[in-house]
Amino acid sequence: MKEEVFWKNQNYIPRKQLKKDLQCDYLIVGGGITGVSIAYFLALNGIKNVALIEKNHIGSGATGKSAGFLALKGELDLTQIIHKYGRKRGLIYWKGNHDGLKIIRDIISKENIRCDFELQPTIYGSIAGKKDSEVLGEYILEKDIEKDTELLVGKKLRKEVNTPLFEYAIKSYDHGASLNPLKFIQDFSKVVEKKGVRVYESTPLLKIKQNIALTPHGNITFRKAILAIDAANRSSKIKNLRSTIVITNKLTKKQLKSINLLQHKMIWDSEDIYHYLKITKDNRILLGYGDKQVHKRHKIARIHHPHIKRITIFLKKLFPHLSPSIEYAWSGDFGVTEDKIPVIEFKGNKVMVGGASSQIVCVMSAKHIVHKLLHKKSSLEEFFNPG
Ligand SMILES: Cc1cc2nc3c(=O)[nH]c(=O)nc-3n(C[C@H](O)[C@H](O)[C@H](O)COP(=O)(O)OP(=O)(O)OC[C@H]3O[C@@H](n4cnc5c(N)ncnc54)[C@H](O)[C@@H]3O)c2cc1C
């Protein structure tokens, strides 16, 4: 088993480090999906003088280490959203998630980003033997809003995914997509560069003094700085979670057929959203597991071995008749808030964003931030700032 991130982007040419002083209107700190999306939306709105700095390389944070599992209900399902925020506000957030996924899909198609993007049906399962399945309630609510949603039970469920683990599941369409997250983010950053954004790698922000950002080899004078550094933000509202991913050997068509996943689908456990699986473009099983809280000081996300042990058990329970070998495993950190809603703070000449915990939410937050910065109407305003 290789203890390394599976995703590769062979043709990627790293950007230069900032080596002189610079002036810009908007400085974005952080080259993950949040920062790059903010740069994209600024450029799309005709804003010219934008710079983005990244302390390592683009995608070196959570984005490039993620599973590339983009799904609505990823963090909060419809029941949880509506229960917490009421129907009107909840549906604004739900629609925002739909928009976030569509935005990613449109960017990939319009900008011709080759990142193994595949729209896939999602299967949101309820573990067998649970007395009171919340999935049934979720299905009733979702069906009211999304026409195509199906409830899967018994044989119908086995036909979609042949596992004894789930008793019920919800199958949804247009709710999920799979991609290679490293290729996506690095090639997306090239798109923003072509639109005029100056991108610097190996350029950590050391400190901000009034309207000057200090980096090791150059100071940046800015009008607004946007800190898109997720859990590295100082906010105590953002916790740092460590999650682990494993990738198996390539399955044969016969093996995929035996689990009814010849047609790729994205599957996860409704009780524990960090237990999920998808089939990669080259027919491997990708399994995600675990949300261990770690202190923000533990900067290097070494592989979390207890997760590997539990993933192996999870895999056995999912597909008892398959015995794939694990070829890659890695852990990574990301920010999450108590209520799974990102923290977005506008303070003087700085904007801070983090804790989105889902890349769809990162993109919708990025669009919201840019609209606010440019004094444009944001469809999410009523959600983030009700009343
Ligand atoms: C193992 C794992 C699997 C996941 N799987 C999924 C998934 O499948 N689907 C999904 O939706 N979400 C997933 N997530 C969560 C998701 O990846 C994150 O919520 C999202 O990528 C956060 O994006 P971001 O741009 O805010 O942060 P990041 O991608 O972490 O980007 C922040 C960037 O800021 C840089 N930075 C930090 N400090 C500085 C500084 N001082 N100066 C300059 N740069 C700095 C970092 O190097 C980093 O590149 C996963 C997370 C992990 C760890």
Give the number of domains in the chain: 2
Going by alpha carbons, the residue nearest to atom 5 of ligand 1 is 66
Report CA(181)–ligand 1 centroid distance (Å).
Answer: 11
Tens digit of each residue's pLDDT (9 = 90 or more) over 189-227: 999 999 999 999 999 999 999 999 999 999 999 999 999
Cβ of 140: how many Cβ atoms within 10 Å? 12
Confidence check: pLDDT of 23 > 90: yes
Same domain, 225 and 354: yes
Same domain flag for 87 and 227: yes
Q: Are residues 112 and 126 in the same domain?
A: no
pTM over 0.85, yes/no:
yes
How much is the pLDDT for 299? 61
Which residue puts its alpha carbon closest to atom 2 of ligand 1?
66
How many residues does the structure list for the chain? 387
Whether residue 309 is predicted with pLDDT greater than 80 in this model: the reply is: yes
Q: What is the CATH number of the domain that holds 232?
A: 3.50.50.60
- 96 closest CA partner among 262, 14, 104: 104
If asked whether residues 108 and 157 sit together in one domain, one would say no
Of residues 272, 349, 284, 279, the one with CA closest to residue 314:
272
Find the radius of gyration of the CA atoms of the chain.
21
pLDDT tens-digit profile of 265-274? 999 988 777 7
Residue pLDDT, tens place only, 357-385 = 999 999 999 999 999 999 999 999 999 99
Do 108 and 193 belong together in one domain?
A: yes
Same domain (yes/no): 284, 356: no
Containing domain of residue 383, as a range? 17-118+177-237+341-387
Confidence of residue 131 (pLDDT cuts 50, 70, 90): low
- Using 50, 70 and 90 to split pLDDT, how confident is the model at 56? very high
Q: How confident is the model at residue 275 (pLDDT cuts 50, 70, 90)?
A: confident
Mean of all residue pLDDT scores within the chain: 93
Distance 55 CA to ligand 1 centre (A): 13
Res. 132: pLDDT tops 80:
no
Closest to 248 measured CA to CA, from 256, 238, 240: 256
Do 166 and 248 share a domain, yes or no? yes
> Can you tell me the distance from the alpha carbon of 341 to that of 336, in angstroms, rounded to the nearest whole number?
8
Between the CA of 272 and the centroid of ligand 1 the distance, in Å, is 20
Q: Identify whether 12 is part of a domain.
A: no
Please give the Cα distance from 238 to 230 (Å, whole number): 8
* 355 Cα to the center of ligand 1, angstroms: 9
pLDDT at 135: 87
Q: Is residue 2 part of a domain?
A: no
Q: Considering the domain boundaries, does residue 92 fall inside one?
A: yes
Rounded to an integer, the average pLDDT of 316-339 is: 94
What does the pLDDT read at residue 147? 86
Q: 118 near 70, Cβ under 8 Å?
A: no
Task: Give the Cα-Cα-Cα angle 194, 9, 261 (nearest 5 degrees).
Answer: 115
| 274 in Cβ contact with 290 (< 8 Å) | yes
Q: Could you tell me if 223 and 300 lie in one domain?
A: no
Helix (H, G, I), strand (E, B) or coil at 253: helix
Q: Kindly report the CATH number assigned to the domain that includes residue 245.
A: 3.30.9.10
* Ligand 1 closest atom vs CA 331: 1
Q: Is residue 10 part of a domain?
A: no
Beta-carbon contacts of 60 under 8 Å, excluding residues fewer than 6 positions away, are: 31, 54
